[in-house]
Every structure is written in C-alpha cells, then in structure tokens.
C-alpha cells in the first residue's frame, strides 16, 4: 500500500513524534510499503527510501524557536500526484489542517494521531481563555478522520471526554539497543556533573519550553548541594533557564545526539521529569532502557510508565518537599540498584516492533484489508 504521512514536525527535528514516525516508516519500508511524508521544508527530501515533500516553513511571531508550515494548497497537489491509499495526519494543527481538508475532499481514507497536549500548554503561555476554543478546534479536525490515535490511556480518557470519535492507543516503544546501561561513560559523567562525579547526578532530556516546568527543580538544588543537574536539550526558554539556574549545580549541554545522548542517559544516577503536560513522554522509556530510575511528577501518562519505588519515584506536582523526599530515596543503595535493574527489564518489553506492527494493522483495518488487533 501507499501511505501519505502529513506531519507538523519531521527530520532534522528531534522529538518524540519524529522518533515514533521514523521507527514506523522504517518498519513500513521493510514490509515493502510505499511512504510519502509531507512536512515543513527543513531540507530533508528522503528518508529510508520514502519521499519527503517539503512545504514552505516560516517562524511564527509567538514561537520563534523553530519554523512551522502553515495550511497550504500544495498539500492537495502532492496528494493528487502520489494518490495514496491512506492519509495519516499527525498532530493536525497548522499544516495538518490542509491534510485533513484535502484528504476529505479527495476522498482518501484518513487517520489522525494526537501527540501534543496543546490545550494544556495554554496554562503556561498565559492564554487560558483559548483552551475551550482549542479543544473545539482539535475535536473538529480529528473527528473528520476514520480513526484517531493517541499515545496513552490517560490521554484517551481526556479525548473521549471531549468528544473525539473512535480513539485508540498507539503503543509506546523504545530503541532498546540504542539506549542501554552499557553506554555508561566516565568522561561523560564528569562532563555532566561539572567535574563532581561523586555527587548524585540527575539528568533531564527534552525541549526547553515553559510547559516542561524545568524551573520547578531549582529549589531542590538550593537545598541539596550534593546533587548535580544536567539539562540536555534546547528550546525557547533556554536563556531564561540559564539565568534562573545561575549559581546552582546545573550544566546546560544543548542538544546531544547519537552515542553522546546514549552516554548522557546511562551515565547519570536518575532521570528527572517535572512535566505534567505530556501525552506520553517517550523520553521516560529511553531513560528506563538506559537503566535509570525515573523521578517524575505525577500525571496520568507518567503513572502509566513509572511504578513508584519499582522503576522510579513519583512526586506530587508543585510540591517541592515531595520532590526532595523522592530524590532522597536514591541514597538507599539497594533500592537504587533494584530500580535500575527493574527499569531496564521493563523497557525491554517495549521495542519499536510492536507499535510499528500495530500501526500497519490499523492502516489495514481502515482500508478494510484485515481486522485490527490490540489497537486499544
């Protein structure tokens, strides 16, 4: 079959959406299916033998960190040229609006997937009045699809509550060989700990944006001089965070890729995850695959992945003492080692094979080729 994937983000960008898509595409190509990706034009024209059709991208006034592609009639021209059997619109918001519109207009079977909790983000950008409008907007887009996907049971519950139709959970996965405890590296630990490798080293990996709530970690560092924090990634609030964390035991590395990223995970003592806005947080599973217990703020999606005192430690959001208490538990060497082992064992259950097989089954179900299995 031929699948057209229309996405708001793709290579060379790096985030959970791109990771999931590239893994799915690799699997689809191995099964000899054709894939066309329609994405913001960031210079990539091919991936794993599939054509990447770029649409002009521009930086938006309210988010100048990276460019987006706006709704564009070129999407219709691309779909007419390639004549896909099915259209998969990923995170319809801007470019994806054209994907939904023209897939319907040209009568292509269509699925849509929800990966980014934009309505929740409004709380962090002081745009609270827009939340009901955004829920209406995304429901209107998604309910034109034959089937909708999201990435956790918690988010499925929210989408069901807001009237999204026919929602299924797309299973999570992780590159269990790319993220592995064997990538531990003394030089990397020295680098991330600011030359103090004997201290407890916590690592955060992700986009540096308000909704990631990284600022909540500062009181921990003010109270625990024996804790170091490494913030791996970049984003629109990096400069603000560097200013806020000045004088604390914090290192900002910017983006790391490939083996360096694998080393950054596995050379820490724990992964710290303060965000409660994620639809899943694939980075949690990457940390667990690296043998790290995950210290996470309680939210539906994180609690689906982190088992308190077995694979990680959960703390109450906006509760500094709860966070400090969670980190203190790392001092129990036996518990720390057990959580490390359990985290790796848990991650090994989630290779990318199952979610990639599942998406193909979903495509076939929508096309009436075969019944869908285990999509819920």
Read off the pTM. Answer: 0.94
Cα distances (angstroms) measured from residue 55 to each of 46, 72, 74, 138, 356: 14, 8, 7, 22, 26
The answer, yes or no, to whether residue 81 has pLDDT greater than 70, is: yes
**Low-confidence winner among 55-64, 88-97, 127-136, 226-235 (lowest mean pLDDT):** 55-64
Residue with tokens 């592609």: 69
- Residue 375: the pLDDT is 43
Q: State pLDDT tens for residues 162-186.
A: 999 999 999 999 999 999 999 999 9
Taking all residues of the chain, what is their mean pLDDT, rounded to a whole number?
95
Interval 95-130: pLDDT, tens? 999 999 999 999 999 999 999 998 888 877 777 788
Q: What pLDDT digit, counting tens, does each position of 339-374 carry?
A: 999 999 999 999 999 999 999 999 999 999 855 544
In sequence order, which residues have a C-beta less than 8 Å from that of residue 132 and are 6 or more positions away? none
Place of tokens 């139709």: 165
Token pair, residue 9, equals 């983000």
Alpha helices in the chain (DSSP H): 16-30, 74-82, 95-105, 118-121, 131-142, 153-161, 186-192, 218-223, 238-244, 258-266, 282-289, 300-305, 320-328, 333-347, 353-366
Domains contained in the chain, CATH given: 2-173+352-366 (3.40.50.2000), 181-347 (3.40.50.2000)
């Amino acid at each position: 079959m031929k699948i057209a994937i229309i996405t708001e983000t793709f290579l060379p960008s790096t985030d959970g959406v791109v990771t999931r898509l590239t893994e799915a595409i690799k699997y689809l190509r191995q099964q000899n299916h054709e894939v066309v990706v329609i994405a913001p034009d960031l210079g990539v024209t091919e991936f794993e033998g599939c054509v990447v059709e770029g649409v002009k991208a521009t930086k938006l006034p309210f988010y100048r960190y990276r460019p987006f592609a706006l709704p564009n009639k070129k999407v219709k021209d691309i779909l007419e040229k390639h004549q896909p059997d099915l259209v998969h619109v990923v995170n319809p918001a801007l470019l994806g609006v054209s994907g939904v519109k023209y897939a319907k207009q040209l009568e292509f079977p269509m699925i849509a997937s929800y990966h980014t909790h934009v309505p929740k983000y409004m709380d962090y950008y002081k745009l609270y009045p827009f939340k009901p409008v955004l829920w209406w907007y995304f429901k209107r887009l998604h309910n034109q699809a034959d089937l909708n996907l999201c990435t956790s049971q918690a988010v499925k519950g929210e989408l069901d509550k807001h009237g999204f139709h026919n929602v299924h959970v797309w299973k999570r996965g992780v590159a269990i060989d790319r993220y592995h405890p064997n990538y531990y590296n003394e030089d990397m630990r020295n680098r991330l700990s600011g030359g103090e490798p004997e201290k407890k080293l916590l690592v955060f990996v992700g986009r540096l944006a308000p909704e990631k709530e990284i600022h909540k970690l500062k009181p921990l560092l003010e109270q625990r001089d024996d804790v170091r924090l490494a913030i791996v990634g970049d984003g629109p609030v990096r400069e603000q965070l560097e200013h806020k964390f000045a004088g604390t035991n914090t290192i900002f590395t910017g983006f790391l890729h490939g083996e360096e990223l694998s080393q950054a995970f596995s050379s820490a003592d724990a992964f710290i995850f303060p965000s409660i806005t994620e639809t899943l947080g694939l980075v949690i599973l990457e940390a667990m695959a690296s043998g790290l217990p995950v210290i996470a703020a309680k939210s539906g999606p994180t609690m689906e992945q982190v088992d308190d005192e077995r694979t990680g430690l959960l703390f109450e959001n906006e509760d500094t003492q709860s966070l400090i208490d969670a980190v203190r538990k790392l001092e129990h060497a036996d518990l720390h080692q057990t959580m490390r082992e359990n985290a790796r064992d848990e991650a090994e259950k989630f290779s990318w094979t199952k979610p990639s097989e599942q998406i193909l089954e979903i495509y076939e179900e929508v096309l009436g080729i075969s019944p869908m299995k285990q999509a819920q």
